[in-house]
Structure 1
């Protein structure tokens, strides 16, 4: 997401951020599906892994398409798409609140990255009410056709919400929201700090903003930075959200199980598809946001 030094209005942020978020989901969701499948695959000692370790991303994509068609790569997309507009509006609001709390007046001019990062992390408090249950629905839908999924299968989001509610009430629907908030705080810290750093570094002397290509690259690299930092948390989150009810007492139990079974590398499953996805998805988000933002300014919505 792009952030102007001059704060725009909430309606502007909502509309432009929503467009950027839609671009991000459309470009990045297939690779996100692959990431979740690899993260949650169950490896039985002595048996071949569901997806080959040496070419897991390609092998996973191939098997999904062979079994489910290309639509399998877009499983669970309805949930994030339905939430992107309000989520991105809230993200900009949260970032603005965070800047007011943490940032000095010269924080962006002197690149006080810790202050900027903490401002970014604040946005997670605003987005988690949407992202928490959205991630729960998305991960379950993405893994229903996986060979190691043992839970009931649902035909779409509405049936899944109904089934999860019957299974455990609201707490079942929002399972993993706490760790989602923590994950996104870490992600937003690195995302906004990296973006603002690159944005300033690549702004030509005498200009207020970098060019389109530099903005594109800044968004892409910022996306890669936040995912490298928070992937271990995301792996724990995904495992916890798709696990059978009662299998784990909490997220710490998931982390202990991963460490015991797979070691440190188990937390980094799906790293390749994450990084491959992060650059184009976040770059697409920037393109969508900036394009919508310019249009909104032209029609007087500032």
Structure 2
């Protein structure tokens, strides 16, 4: 009797998740995607953080990606470009697991998985809900990451755990969440825009919604870059709030809300200040979202194929 052979992935109704695509498998796919997304482009994210910080000293101002890379590499050592990445690795996996599990659950509940039909509202809503859930988990890790990315941070913190203890001891638990409302003001529209653009582009490129690596990579990159550029002002304020505890400037240390941050930034640097780091943010986000979506969709396709009975 001939052995049964598995159907190719392309024969599956890829977007209509089967009942045996478990929550654990969906979260595993999301965790893999999150770690892959954040680690590959981490050095450029570090430069973006340095560019966004308000510095009273001209010697502490970073003007661009190339200049920033050279200054850090020659003045502090190449490995400083990856300082703080351990916080991202520890936090990004679980946070993205929550992110994609929430995304799929809300999208399915709103009818966004029906093949052959574009569902922009379901895509935007599921993306926003996913962000609110995942950011609640990730925000403390993001604070630690940015504290470790700033100049001379190695003199204050030896490790991720040391940084967490320092922040908690000197600023309290609220320091890990003072930026959370601002983070949501950035990530909710960012994710809604990204998911809306991703679903629109991928549906246009791949109307049958079959697994297609080129579509997922291209749609992810374009959607991520578009959303990153539009939400840069909120990212600048988020960086200000997350790094204020390391500042010597009393006005900066006193900033404790989104509006207070906006007022200080406008007073110091005008409208241009709200777009500091926009180039490295877009350059970081485009490949990282392409990697994230590609990794997630590849993992999703693997689990669907693995769970589908042989013919």
1:31-85 residue CA offsets vs partner (Å, 9 max, x unmatched): 11111110014255xx577223xxx111011111112222111111111111222
1:246-277 residue CA offsets vs partner (Å, 9 max, x unmatched): 42142211111111111111111111111111
Distance in 1 of aligned mates of 2:113 and 2:281: 34
- The counterpart of 2:267, out of the listed 249, 260, 265, is 260
Does residue 19 (structure 1) correspond to residue 21 (structure 2)? The answer is: no
Match runs of 1:88-107 below 5 Å: 88-99=96-107, 103=110
Task: State the match for 2:185 in structure 1.
Answer: 182
Task: State the match for 2:9 in structure 1.
Answer: none
> How has the CA–CA distance of structure 1 residues 114 and 96 changed in structure 2, closer, same or farther, with 3 Å as cutoff?
same
The aligned length equals: 287
Distance in 2 of aligned mates of 1:263 and 1:107: 47
| Stretch deviating more after TM superposition (287-296 or 61-70) | 287-296
> How has the CA–CA distance of structure 1 residues 168 and 291 changed in structure 2, closer, same or farther, with 3 Å as cutoff?
same
2:239 is paired with a residue whose SS is helix
| Stretch deviating more after TM superposition (288-297 or 194-203) | 288-297
Task: State the match for 2:73 in structure 1.
Answer: 65
1:167-192 residue CA offsets vs partner (Å, 9 max, x unmatched): 13211233312222232211110111
1:102-156 residue CA offsets vs partner (Å, 9 max, x unmatched): x45688855342442122111122112222111111111111427xx9xx71111
Task: State the match for 1:50 in structure 2.
Answer: 61
8 Å CA contact retained: 1:199, 1:210: no
Structure label with greater radius of gyration: 2
Measured on the aligned residues, the alpha-carbon RMSD in Å equals: 2.6
Task: State the match for 1:192 in structure 2.
Answer: 195
1:220-239 residue CA offsets vs partner (Å, 9 max, x unmatched): 11111221222111110101
Q: Can you give the 5+ residue segments of structure 2 that lack an aligned partner in the other structure?
A: 1-13, 247-252
Instruction: State the TM-score, normalized to the length of structure 2.
Output: 0.83
Does residue 228 (structure 1) correspond to residue 193 (structure 2)? The answer is: no
Q: Can you give the 5+ residue segments of structure 1 that lack an aligned partner in the other structure?
A: none
Instruction: State the TM-score, normalized to the length of structure 1.
Output: 0.86
Match runs of 1:73-88 below 5 Å: 73-88=81-96
Distance in 2 of aligned mates of 1:125 and 1:51: 31
1:155 is paired with a residue whose SS is coil
8 Å CA contact retained: 2:15, 2:113: no
Does residue 130 (structure 1) correspond to residue 137 (structure 2)? The answer is: yes
Distance in 2 of aligned mates of 1:249 and 1:216: 38
> How has the CA–CA distance of structure 1 residues 107 and 190 changed in structure 2, closer, same or farther, with 3 Å as cutoff?
farther
8 Å CA contact retained: 2:140, 2:177: yes
Does residue 242 (structure 1) correspond to residue 252 (structure 2)? The answer is: no
Distance in 2 of aligned mates of 1:26 and 1:299: 27
8 Å CA contact retained: 2:112, 2:122: no
